[in-house]
Structure 1
Amino acid sequence: MRAIEILDQKTIDKIAAGEVVERPASVVKELVENAIDARATAITVEIKEGGISFIRITDNGCGITKDQVRLAFLRHATSKIRNVEDLVQIASLGFRGEALSSISAVSQVELITKTPESLTGVRYCIEGGTEKELEEIGAPSGTTFLVHHLFYNTPARLSS
């Protein structure tokens, strides 16, 4: 899989579709599409309270390397395209590089990921867009994405 990079402004302007997390179903959609793009053959989805209190997506895809984990949560950071010319041949479900940033801005996120080549996995916690923890842990290959308290810091969205 290609390395994750931040898109240039020209490409950002072309694809800016305002990828915003509107409801729990949109979080599930984005994370399942990421799992499919990571070549997962098994994906599990678990939710509590309609996804507001808890969402867990687990896959057996390619995982994310430790040096790419932080970058994956930045706006417009993507492994799918490099420039505006790549837009004519997109072969993935997601490509804008906005989903993880948007999800982590309005929830408490825990990411556990491991590539098949790595000896250890990585656990990364980010709350309201602020990094809380990054550590190496034992983990199976693939990615588990846990979303807690969706919209906890945006009361207007929580009540709608």
Structure 2
Amino acid sequence: MDTEIETVDTSTHVNEWAREPRGITAAELQQLQELLGTFSFVNGDSDKWKWHMHNNGLLSTIVFTCQLNEKLPSSNAYALPTARNKFLPQKVGIFIWRTKLKRLPVREELDKKCIDLDTLLCPVCSSKIEYVEHTLLTCPFAIDDWSQVRRWWGINSCSG
């Protein structure tokens, strides 16, 4: 039985970029296109991902979280905050966890990952580099937001 092999043709693919890739991003795109040019499918085969950490090969959030919690001790800084804190919604716990690990998509962290940005300045105040502490605590707009939250909760202003 003969099988037909179909090569991926990247030359006909049209990219519509909001801004043309440049620098390291353009180089990585070129490498990816070269790799895809050598990739081929065998007709009749379906393209799918298979996860080998579970018997049925399907990836689900619950199974993934359980697997991670088994592998990582709870004292580990990278452990997921999934102890089901009854006082906080899960998304708040995950936000705090990502903040602690400096995994929020602020411009300083995106720049470290070589993501091409026009500027590293905070898009809200444009006065300092956007990093986690600035975004959540020291940006003039964050300071104003926190003072409104304190007023809403009836907490007096903290003085240092």
Normalising to structure 2: TM-score of the pair?
Answer: 0.21
Which of the two has greater strand per residue?
1
Larger Rg, first or second structure (1 or 2) = 2
Which of the two has greater helix per residue?
2
Q: RCO (CA 8 Å, sep 6+): is it higher in 1 or 2?
A: 1
Normalising to structure 1: TM-score of the pair?
Answer: 0.21
